[in-house]
């Protein structure tokens, strides 16, 4: 299997999984994935998700419980900004961002899952927003002009992209000079056991697709960004009912006692005002 085939297969896994999720409510997602008595073999997104419900612009129908942070809370979004949300799902982060930019700003959500785009558009239509739009497309090749965004946000999505280097290059391209991003994602400290790394379901749940925290930050730096900082970090502990689907009892014990870990991080970075990297002058 060559690299291109692997990337396309991983994308298809994600497409199928998130198409299924798009047809369910947050409650259904919470109850159908790896509850204490469920015994299913996919990651429980609720283990990673943060609570959005107190934030302005929160839309229950658009919250599928799929995130691993609150990037819009840290994104320094201002009234009138143009915001691009990568992997916008059913639209929750877009609607929260809309409450910050007001009627003079613009929100563009990008998702490559057709059913998610359809669900987000229905939610947006209900809210009556004229300055929120959803575009179907690939984060590695965004359907957005260069230098259009003041802010880019993303919530637990970039780990689903096989070519993360290209995803950050595209993020750099679509930002205005002096613009910035705030993204929440899953990273690793130390190595995951093979059973977790090789699981397609764990990939769809952002775990097997995770890379080392330092490698993640290096990708951002190498894309041309500066002022890079971690705004929030928390350890993710997968419950035993999930781990036992992938690891033996001894492997679970070793993983629990080891130094390796899975972390949710929210990372901020800026596109320099003066730069000569690719994407600066687009």
Torsion of CA 131, 144, 112, 80, to 10 degrees: -30
Instruction: Give the DSSP H or E segment for 262.
Output: strand 261-270
Domains of the chain: 3-270 (3.40.50.150)
For 21-48, what is the mean pLDDT?
A: 45
- How many CB atoms are located within 10 Å of the residue 117 CB? 22
pLDDT at 31: 43
Q: Which of 246, 281, 253, 266 is nearest to 42 (CA)?
A: 246
DSSP letter at 61 equals G
Contact 266, 232 (CB under 8 A): yes
Q: Which of 70, 77, 58, 195 is nearest to 127 (CA)?
A: 58
Over residues 233-255, the pLDDT tens digits come to 988 887 888 788 888 888 888 88
Over residues 69-96, the pLDDT tens digits come to 788 999 999 999 999 999 999 899 999 9
The whole model's pTM is what?
0.81
Buried b (16+ CB within 10 A) or exposed e, 204-218: bbbbbbbbebeebbe
Tokens of 13: 């896994």
């Amino acid at each position: 299997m060559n690299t291109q085939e692997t990337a396309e297969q991983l994308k298809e896994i994600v497409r199928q999984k998130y198409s299924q999720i798009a047809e369910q409510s947050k409650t259904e997602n919470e109850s159908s994935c790896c509850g204490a008595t469920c015994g299913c073999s996919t990651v429980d997104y609720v283990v990673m998700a943060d609570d959005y419900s107190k934030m302005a612009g929160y839309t229950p129908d658009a919250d599928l419980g799929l995130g691993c942070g609150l990037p819009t809370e840290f994104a320094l979004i201002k009234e009138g900004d143009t915001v691009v949300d990568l992997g916008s799902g059913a639209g929750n982060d877009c609607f929260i961002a809309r409450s910050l930019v007001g009627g003079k700003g613009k929100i563009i959500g990008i998702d490559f899952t057709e059913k998610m785009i359809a669900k987000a558009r229905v939610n947006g239509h209900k809210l009556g927003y004229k300055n929120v739009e959803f575009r179907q497309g690939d984060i590695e090749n965004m359907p957005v002009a260069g230098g259009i965004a003041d802010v880019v946000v993303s919530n637990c999505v970039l780990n689903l992209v096989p070519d993360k280097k290209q995803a950050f290059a595209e993020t750099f391209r679509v930002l205005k000079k002096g613009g910035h991003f705030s993204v929440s994602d899953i990273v690793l400290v130390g190595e995951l056991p093979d059973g977790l790394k090789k699981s397609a379901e764990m990939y769809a749940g952002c775990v097997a697709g995770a890379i080392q925290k330092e490698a993640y930050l290096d990708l951002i730096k190498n894309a041309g960004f500066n002022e890079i900082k971690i705004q929030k970090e928390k350890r993710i502990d997968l419950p035993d009912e999930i781990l036992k689907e992938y690891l033996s009892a001894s492997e679970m014990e070793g993983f629990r006692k080891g130094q390796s870990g899975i972390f949710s991080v929210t990372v901020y970075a800026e596109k320099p005002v003066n730069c000569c990297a690719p994407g600066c002058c687009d």
